[in-house]
Structure 1
Amino acid sequence: MRDFLPADKARRERVLAVIRERYRAHGFDEIETPVVEEYARLHAGIGGDNEKLAFTVLKRGLDADGIRAAADDPAALSDLGLRYDLTVPLARFYASHRAELPTVFRAIQIAPVWRAERPQKGRYRQFVQCDIDIIGDASARAEAELVTASLDTLDALGLEGGWLRINDRRLLDWMLDSFGFTAEERPGVLITIDKLDKIGPEGVAEELRSRGAADSAVDAFAAFLRRPRTLQHLPFGEAHVRAELPEGAPDEVVAHLVGIGAAVAAARHSDEKDAADVPLRYDPFLVRGMGYYTGTIFELAHPSVDYSLGGGGRYDGMIGRFLGQEVPAVGFSFGFERLVELVDLPTDAAASAVVLVHDRDVPVVELLALKADLLAEGSRVRLEQRTKNLKALLERSAADGYTAFATVAAGQARDALELKPLS
């Protein structure tokens, strides 16, 4: 959990302002949920490994004897916990307020979440997530809206050239079934497949055997990984998707993915651009670990880094656990802490931010009158008493985003102030 100095905080807020503005432009509305949720909801088996990282809140009023008595029962010790993502709170929010929301609800959530991570570079115990979700639309339009809004936001942040790896958990499950992996084996198989980029096909096959998977299934999978994929150069579309899968992939799911690609192409390209260059890359081995994904899944990539900048997917089963009836839902989340390190947005050059460097003997009534005049003109104003090291004072002010300064002596009028740029 980190502190942020003024310049860092201002930089983060500029990035967040762009994200909010672009998402709102695409028709999403911002909501806010509490930082805590009920313990039972956070540990309902839908948050994957993140549930193990949840910070819990000790029940109020427990004394030492009560804590000892409940030591072996987490639910008896805690009834609340800090949210570890924004999707579980959104599902609860929608179930609570459905009657007040549109049939298809497009939500923005930008807020901190907490996980008991082992801190390291790019991984923190408190971090900001930037989520957009569409609830109530089961069609490919929902995924296409998320993809286009997210890519448009990435462009607005000066990170053009991003793309999304995309897959569908239904296709992944079908493929594993076709190789002969049982439903009981699937969780462990998915964990191993998720390492394909790191350990390669041979490493995957070896680990699957060590997990006790059937030899026939592992052999079939290994043979599939070794085949030449001659159609990888094709644009995103049906031929591309089918070329990456065994024969007989379910038509409905393939059509859903192809429909997303067609909609994104229509939204992203004009006559002046290459309409074949859709920013989607089909990856039949993309897994994403969250247990609540039921369909399309995607991860955001950018050529400047070798890690994802965000991801998401369809989680049609989650809201039904709170509402008692199935409601389609799909969402995307920026990894803000990773993203913000790559973005270099300029400060608003048109905004005037002035430091008034005053002598010790200038009466406070004069200083505040000058400050009020500048504020009325639309400037941001800071008062600083002159120091021996004026250069250091001005450098610090420039680092904090101030663009000009003026020196103030006793009795100085507003029209006598000489504003000088801070460089």
Structure 2
Amino acid sequence: MIESLWLQLQHPNTQWVLAGTLLLGAASGLLGSFVLLRKQSLIGDAMAHSALPGVCLAFLFTGEKSLPFFLLGAALAGLLGTWMIQLIPRLSKTKEDSAIGIVLSVFFGVGIILLTYIQQLGSGSQSGLDSFLFGQAASLVRQDIILIAGVSAVLLLLCTVFFKEFKIITFDIAFAKGLGLPVRFLNGLMACLIVCAVVIGLQTVGVILMAAMLITPAIAARYWTERLTGMIVIAGMTGGISGVSGTLLSTTMEGMATGPLMILSATIIFLFSMICAPKRGLAAKGIRLIRLRRKTNREQVLLTIFEQYEHKEIYVTEESIRKKRRLSPSSCHKVLNDLEKERCVVRIENGVWKVTQAGIEKGYLTALKYRMYEMYLMHEMDIEKAGADQDDFVPDRLPEATRDRLLSLLKLHGRMPELRQPYPEIKKGKIANEL
């Protein structure tokens, strides 16, 4: 298999296809990042479907299979579809998503009708237009690849030149207008670049799958970074890798189209990113959730311990903790075992625990944190911002004025926890009576 692949790679046509799919994937991933962040994912799909009647009309006018004319017709049809998507909501009460659905369906339907008509012509069987539905990279010749590679390189160059402007209009269009940027021109340029990216990928990936090639690398990249620059780089790399891997798989698997394999490769990278990304991945989120639950359970047990201490009780039972905090038996038992290792509690008998001075002190700190946060929520309008949520709320890290204000409110409302001296030891035989 490796020898066969190596022999295939020596073929000039395979090398040209690899170069074309690499640049196509990189350009699609880069532009797809802006499309995703602007929440216009469906527009790419509409542009791809709108391009089909343009390809068919170009063939009817020229009477021959010429990729430059096909791309020109597809670009004009794609721009027309984009313009109609913007025009329909402006002239009617139709929402943008409905307009996208209308344009996508109508243009694609017209394209299928024209495609059927062309196939019935004498020269229709030689047109090869059906390859634009699902893509057929193997049919690309050197001139086609040069055209695709050239357009992809221009797209990458323009995105680099206008990166700062695209970044501003993507995140804050009002700010862009305030700076005096030509917002309408930049939006039009962005639309043209997206149309070009969609059009050059039609023969490789196809009308139906081109939107996935535009969006999937960007979604995968979003899992790995919080910065636009990093997202664009990762999306471009993901698109390029998907293009190359799809081409290589198509080379080794006889009869398999390149376009679907490119999308499949991008999807595999997306699934890997969704699961394994360090911050946004499902695995990382699951680990953080488990840690948060453990931390919350621990704090709830310590809070219960201190509240019972305030009622002059230094013995706690697992049953009382579970009833008060709604913890599962296993969670409650695990927390108490962990606290026992920290010498915060001592096991007296089955289900009964004695609180030590260390446990009381930790319970005091937990109660202080919770009650200060309660006061903060009650008087949030009058107090300097202290944290986004309870997990970020740390009393020792608060500004001194904020901390003093919250402590005074605790005293005013009678919620100030008090750390008294530990109670004298109670003999084990008297536990039942004390409880």
Q: TM-score range by the shorter chain?
A: under 0.3
- TM-score in terms of structure 1 length: 0.25
> Which one has a bigger Cα radius of gyration?
2
